Structure 1
Amino acid sequence: MLEEKERERNMGSEYKVVLLGEGAVGKTSILLQYTKRKFESDHIMTIQASFRSKVLNIVDQTITLNLWDTAGQEKFHSLALVYYRDANAAVLVYDVTDRDSFDRVQNWVQELVKNVDGKPILAIAANKTDLPKSQHVISSEEGREYAEKVGAQFFETSAKDVETLNPMFLHIAKNLQQQHRGRNSTENGRSTRTLKIEDDSAPEVSTGGGCGC
């Protein structure tokens, strides 16, 4: 039994994470830097969506983040739903030098609430922080305040520096892991209570708690 539980604990889990935001805020650059440690100085326009994976090891467990980069242009918004409606987590990206991109994050949050089942993990990325402070039109305080308001974690990022991206995706992975374990623990508890209700005369059964993720 212990060996079986250990095997289950070490089994990998996969989660879908979508990057949402307006065009040219740096979603594709973030994805390339995080997964390939590569930065493209020229803007790359995403058509519909692109996909990359990142494997992490957290507490002896393998976790795969399937990362979807969605197109930000207005003409592709209706297609974005296809890619994010079954997401486990979302990174909402804005450009700290572009007020409109920050305002549009609010629309993305509303769309997620309306179209995604369950409660996805949310992170808000204030991107392009490598640019001179004189160009910033969204302060850290304003971004952090909005993130707290919608139940998201706030991160200041630069697609040029992977060290600003690692904490954000690690936060997402750990919270997805915790969320999954909590859900499995709840389901195991319900299963145990149901057994006792159905047959009071049956011998007491001990069921192992924990997660098989």
Structure 2
Amino acid sequence: MIAYKVVLLGEGRVGKTSILLRYMNNSFETDIPRTKHASYMEKEVEYNKNKIKLSIWDTAGQEQFRAVNPMYYREAKGAILVYDVTDENSFKRVKDWVKELIQMIGNDVVLIIAGNKSDLTKRLVSEKDALEYAQSINAPHIYTSDKNWFKYFTNDEKNPITSKQKQPQLQKTKSIRVLDESPKNGEQQKGTGGGCC
């Protein structure tokens, strides 16, 4: 079985844990404690008739835990960088995470920029700025919410992590809006601890 490690990065309270739980368990929880240090969850998916084990590491976004986050970057094949569309500072911090990731593990890491809480109407991060930045680092940009997850890890054709070997260059940056997706029959998932956004 092929294994891929993915790290989930972003400021505290942007909703990282919530969207991860949505993807893993098809559940939506409103009262989740803050992540301390990191936790991870695993899920098996199928790509190109091969079984893939995704290990998704949910890191802490709070200032006091940032010093230890780089230890979780090692051997990561991809990173999902989450910001809150109603919090401009959380978007600015994504740029710092990207620089740190590239410095630590190189340019081969696959990046995905996710604008979370897209169901809210009071947006402070413009779509134009978000898309332009994502394009500047050759990363897909997607919109998510705590209630909706995205299909990158379940859509074989668009999965930027598992298709990296056959597709070194990412496709032209797009903004993608998606609907809920329940786990497919036969998929497995397990968690090693809870956490927060």
TM over 0.5: yes
TMscore range, shorter length: 0.7 to 0.9
Deviates more, 1:49-58 or 1:90-99: 49-58
- TM-score, scaled relative to structure 2: 0.79
Identity of matched residues, % = 42
> Are 2:90 and 1:101 aligned?
yes
Alpha-carbon separation, structure 2, partners of 1:154 and 1:171: 18
Could you tell me which runs of 5 or more consecutive residues in structure 2 were left unpaired when the two chains were aligned. Answer: 169-197
Task: Label 1:51 to 1:87 Cα distance change in 2 as closer, same or farther (>3 A).
Answer: same
Name the aligned partner's letter for residue 18 of structure 1.
V
The answer to whether the 8 Å contact 1:85/1:112 transfers is: no
Task: Label 1:126 to 1:99 Cα distance change in 2 as closer, same or farther (>3 A).
Answer: same
Offset, 1:171: 7.2
Offset, 1:42: 2.1
- Once the two structures are superposed, the pairs formed by residues 91-170 of structure 1 within 5 Å of their partners are 91-117=80-106, 119-132=108-121, 135-162=122-149, 165-167=150-152, 170=155
Aligned to 2:163: 178
Alpha-carbon separation, structure 1, partners of 2:135 and 2:166: 24
Alpha-carbon separation, structure 2, partners of 1:16 and 1:140: 29
Alpha-carbon separation, structure 2, partners of 1:42 and 1:95: 17
Alignment equivalent of 1:36, drawn from 7, 14, 25 = 25
> Are 2:11 and 1:22 aligned?
yes
Alpha-carbon separation, structure 2, partners of 1:38 and 1:87: 26
Task: Label 1:117 to 1:90 Cα distance change in 2 as closer, same or farther (>3 A).
Answer: same
Could you tell me which runs of 5 or more consecutive residues in structure 1 were left unpaired when the two chains were aligned. Answer: 1-11, 184-213
Alpha-carbon separation, structure 1, partners of 2:157 and 2:112: 8
Task: Label 1:120 to 1:170 Cα distance change in 2 as closer, same or farther (>3 A).
Answer: farther
Which is bigger in relative contact order (C-alpha 8 A, separation at least 6)? 2
Deviates more, 1:111-120 or 1:48-57: 111-120
Alpha-carbon separation, structure 1, partners of 2:73 and 2:142: 21
Offset, 1:38: 1.1
Task: Label 1:136 to 1:20 Cα distance change in 2 as closer, same or farther (>3 A).
Answer: same
Alpha-carbon separation, structure 2, partners of 1:143 and 1:172: 24
Q: How many residue pairs get matched?
A: 168
Task: Label 1:69 to 1:122 Cα distance change in 2 as closer, same or farther (>3 A).
Answer: same
Aligned to 2:184: none
Decide which structure has greater strand share.
2
Decide which structure has greater helix share.
1
Aligned to 2:77: 88
Offset, 1:140: 1.8
- TM-score, scaled relative to structure 1: 0.73
CA RMSD across the alignment: 2.0
